[in-house]
Amino acid sequence: MAAHPQDNPVREDGPARRDRLPEQLGPVAPRNALSRRQILSCALAAGAGLALGRAARGTAAAAAAATTVTTPTADSLFHLPLITKPIPATGERLPAIGLGTDKFYDSERAAIRDEIARMQQLGGTVIDTSADYGESEGLVGDVLSSLGIRNRMFVATKLVAGGGGFFGSFIGGRPSFERSLTRLRTPRVDLLQVHNLDGVDTLMPLMQQWKQAGQIRYIGITTSDPSQHGDMVGYMRRYPLDFVQVDYSIANRDAAMNVLPLALERRIAVLINVPFGYGSVIEQAESRRLPDWAADIDVTSWGQFLLKYVISHPAVTCAIPGSTQTRHLVDDQGAARGRLPDEAMRQRMERFWDSA
C-alpha cells in the first residue's frame, strides 16, 4: 500500500526500528542512594550521643525513606492524573497526547480498532487524519462509529485547495471536505486544517463559513517542513486561526525558535506532528540508555522522554505521535501522565540529547 510521501520524506530510507515495550527497555537504576555527605549531615542532625556509625546507618535509612523517588513503571503511570492543556480560543482542555494516523490501512482494521478503543480507555481523545491519508479517514470514521465513541473524541482532519497544489491531483476545497465528513461518518469535525499550507488564502473564507455553519469547531493550518515555518507565521499573523500543527522534536527545534513564540503571543493552540522524526529519532534514542533522572518526570521509556520534552513547551497543546501498534500507543499515552519537565529539566534533556 502506498505511503504518504509528502508527509514522510525520510522513513522509506530509515533503518529497521527496534520496537520495545517500556518494560523491555531495562530497569531504571534506583534513585535512593545517599551520598556520604548526606549521610553525615543526617547523622549530625540526629546527634543524641549515638556512635557515629550507628547513627549514620539509622538516619541514613530514615532519610532514604523520606527522599526516595519511586521509579514509575509503565502500568503505574495510568494511576497518575491525565495531563490536559487548554485551547486558548475557548479554554476547552485536550489531553496532551493524541494519535497520528497517516499509516492507517484497511488491512489492519482489527488492530486499529483495538488501538483506538485502548486510547479512549486511557483518556486520549485527539485523532489527527487527512483527506490525503488514503484509507485513514474512512477507517477512523468506521472505528469511531462501531465503537460508538465519536462524540467523546476530538477529530482533526485536513484538506488542500485542490487543482495541482502540493498534493497534485487530489481533490480539494468543498468536495474534499464533504468527502471527509462522509468518510468520518460525522456531521462536524472538531478541527479542519489546511494541509501543508496548500491554498490557505483560498480556503480560509470557506472554512470560516463552515465554522459559522457548525460543520467545524476549530480552524487550523499545518506543515511538517521547517522551510515552511516562515510562511506559517505569515498566515498566523494574517488569519484568525484556532490551531497550527507543526513539526517539533528534541532533534528538530526550529519551531521553538520560529513558530511557537508567535503561537503563544497570538493564543493559537498547537498540535505537534512527527515528534519521533517519523520514527528515526526514537530509533536513534533507543541506542542509548534512558538516564536515571528520567524517573523524576515519571518517564519510563524513550517514547515518553521524547513526548514529554515536546508537550512541556508552554505553547504546545497536544502531540500527535503516529502509531499503528497498540503497545506503542500505550507507551505514548503514558507521556500524558505524571510530572512535566520544567525549564531547567528541558535544558537538561536537550544537553543529554546533544551530548550523543
Contact residues for ligand NAP (CB under 6 A)?
7-8, 19, 100-103, 128, 158, 195-196, 222-224, 245, 273-279, 282, 303, 320-325, 328, 331-332
Q: How far is the CB of 118 from ligand NAP (least distance, A)?
A: 13
Whose Cβ is closer to ligand NAP: residue 101's or residue 312's?
101
Whose Cβ is closer to ligand NAP: residue 176's or residue 273's?
273
Q: How far is the CB of 208 from ligand NAP (least distance, A)?
A: 20
Q: How far is the CB of 210 from ligand NAP (least distance, A)?
A: 19
Q: How far is the CB of 182 from ligand NAP (least distance, A)?
A: 20
Distance in angstroms between the alpha carbons of the first and the last residue of the chain: 36
Quote the CA–CA distance of 64 and 80 in Å, as a whole number.
Answer: 23
Residue facing ligand NAP at closest CB distance: 322
Whose Cβ is closer to ligand NAP: residue 7's or residue 142's?
7
Whose Cβ is closer to ligand NAP: residue 72's or residue 275's?
275
Quote the CA–CA distance of 195 and 117 in Å, as a whole number.
Answer: 27
Whose Cβ is closer to ligand NAP: residue 138's or residue 303's?
303
Q: Are strands 216-222 and 189-194 parallel, antiparallel or unpaired?
A: parallel
Grid cell 499545518 is found at 222
Whose Cβ is closer to ligand NAP: residue 128's or residue 242's?
128
Whose Cβ is closer to ligand NAP: residue 28's or residue 56's?
28
Selection from 104, 96, 145, 106 nearest residue 275 by Cα: 96
Q: How far is the CB of 156 from ligand NAP (least distance, A)?
A: 8
Q: How far is the CB of 102 from ligand NAP (least distance, A)?
A: 4
Whose Cβ is closer to ligand NAP: residue 59's or residue 301's?
301
Whose Cβ is closer to ligand NAP: residue 59's or residue 353's?
353
Q: How far is the CB of 12 from ligand NAP (least distance, A)?
A: 12
Q: How far is the CB of 329 from ligand NAP (least distance, A)?
A: 7
Helix axes 109-121, 136-147, angle to 10 degrees: 60
Helix axes 326-333, 302-311, angle to 10 degrees: 50
Whose Cβ is closer to ligand NAP: residue 87's or residue 244's?
244
Q: How far is the CB of 68 from ligand NAP (least distance, A)?
A: 27
Q: How far is the CB of 290 from ligand NAP (least distance, A)?
A: 12
